[in-house]
Chain A
Amino acid sequence: MTALTVNGEERASRSGPMTPLLDVLREEFFLTGAKAVCREGFCGACTVHLDGEPVASCLVPLGAAAGREVRTVEALAAGGLSRLQQAMEDHDAVQCGMCFPGMLMTLTDFLRHTPAPTRAEVKAALAGNICRCTGYERIVDAALDAARSA
């Protein structure tokens, strides 16, 4: 068994140590917010926070997450929508939703470290989050709005 903390709860997984963390989250813990898309670290749809840092959970073996703290998109709205989530809704930025959990996890961390970003900085932060609906501009607008209203 591998023990880890997921969204503040102590959890244990029966999966093997080389199982992608993404699969443990989705198939064992039924946290389906992180999406399985490219499975090679290019698209960002599976982004979660590992010890507070956004990573591609498709490339994290469960064994490497042992004893560590995982936060998924499900944890963002624990006390109502986060400021970023609200900004996304206000800007009507969500389209198909496949990339969106990853976008939120990347931007939540980015805005924590960069409270007053430029548009170019937001785009650079999203270099590893691909949106095939091509909704980038409204997502960037919403991120800048969330930063301004903080």
Chain B
Amino acid sequence: MAASLADAVAALAERAGEGAPLAGATWIMRAPLRREPAASAYVGIARIPELRRIDIDDRSVAIGACVSHAQLAAALAPHAECRALAQAAGHSANPAIRRMATVGGNLSTSAFAAADLVPALLCLDAEVELQIGGTGERMALQRFLAHRTSLEPGWLLNRVIVPRRPRRSAHVRLPLRRAGDYPVAIVSLAVEDEGAVSVAIGSVEPVARRWPALEAALKGDALDPVRAAARAADHLDGFNGRAGIEAPGWYRVEVLPVLVGRAVAALGRPA
């Protein structure tokens, strides 16, 4: 159990890629169910004070990697411009898992396609701070997602930075039951006062991503749920849905227009 960030980085470096960081443990403890081998060593990072902090100022929300989903949802409740992220953190999995699972784990687990925080953070233009090879690096979340499986061994995600801007946002998910299941598909939507629209899709493909074609189609539009759903239906071509136990790939794609409409409806009125 590392006591400081420096200790954790050193312990991971010492194990030269054979060790893995461990915080909420909700994914790692299920490795046997997925028939995956355990890492040869785990470095506990959950008690490192700076990874457990949420710092909110006028410009940004900085979220430590070991903040749990429940802590994040509670901290963001008063901040309307981060509503999509608060909804993602407050409705993923179930209450017990939300108390355990961390932000860093949700972003770092490349095999977990249904992570709720990823599309919410993508639509809010989040960046991540990493320790790679003993030095700090900051990069856009989208870039991190593209490179996280090929980073130098021993990397550690420290914090997630969400810029604060006047915007409305919403996070809509479709689980098989109302709660508790992995979502079939997720739509996160953010609309800035200037009319810019950000849309991110999760759980449909192996990695969450933005939907640039729909963002362009909705830019400057007077957003209406029915019209937005119709525009989404016109831009489904680029998706290749993943097959999974909850749903076949085609279904994950086909539900997107409805979820886009729900996300627009959930935005509410401009402040």
Contacts and interface: CB of A to CB of B under 8 A. Distances in A.
Interface residues of A, number: 26
A55 B96 contact: yes
A66 interface: yes
B26 interface: yes
Contact of B179 (A20, A55, A59, A124): A124
Interface stretch (B38-46, B48-56, B192-200, B261-269): B38-46
Contacts of B180: 42, 127-128, 130
Interface string A89-107: 0000000000000000010
B43 to A, nearest CB: 11
Contacts of B22: 61, 64
Given A61-B25, A128-B180, A40 B33 contact: yes
B1 A66 contact: yes
Given A18-B42, A42-B180, A44-B94, A55 B30 contact: no
Q: Which of A20, A54, A56, A125 has its CB near the most chain B CB atoms (within 10 A)?
A: A56
Contacts of B15: none
Contacts, number: 72
B44 A41 contact: no
A41 B96 contact: yes
Contact of B29 (A20, A44, A66, A124): A20
A99 to B, nearest CB: 13
Interface string A24-64: 00000000000000011110100100000111101111011
Nearest to A128: B94
Interface in B234-249: none
B28 to A, nearest CB: 8
B100 to A, nearest CB: 5
B26 A59 contact: yes
A106 B97 contact: no
Contact of B30 (A18, A44, A59, A63): A59
A141 to B, nearest CB: 20
Contacts of A20: 29
A85 B31 CA distance: 35
Contacts of A106: 95-96
Given A42-B180, A58-B29, A128-B93, A64 B46 contact: yes
A55 B29 contact: no
Nearest to B98: A128
A58 B99 CA distance: 14
B95 A125 contact: yes
6 contacts: A42-B180, A47-B96, A55-B99, A56-B26, A60-B25, A61-B42
The 9 A-B residue pairs with the shortest CB-CB distance, nearest first, are A128-B94, A127-B179, A59-B29, A127-B94, A56-B96, A128-B96, A127-B180, A59-B26, A41-B97
Given A59-B26, A59-B100, A60-B100, 7 more contacts: A39-B30, A40-B30, A40-B33, A44-B96, A56-B100, A59-B97, A64-B46
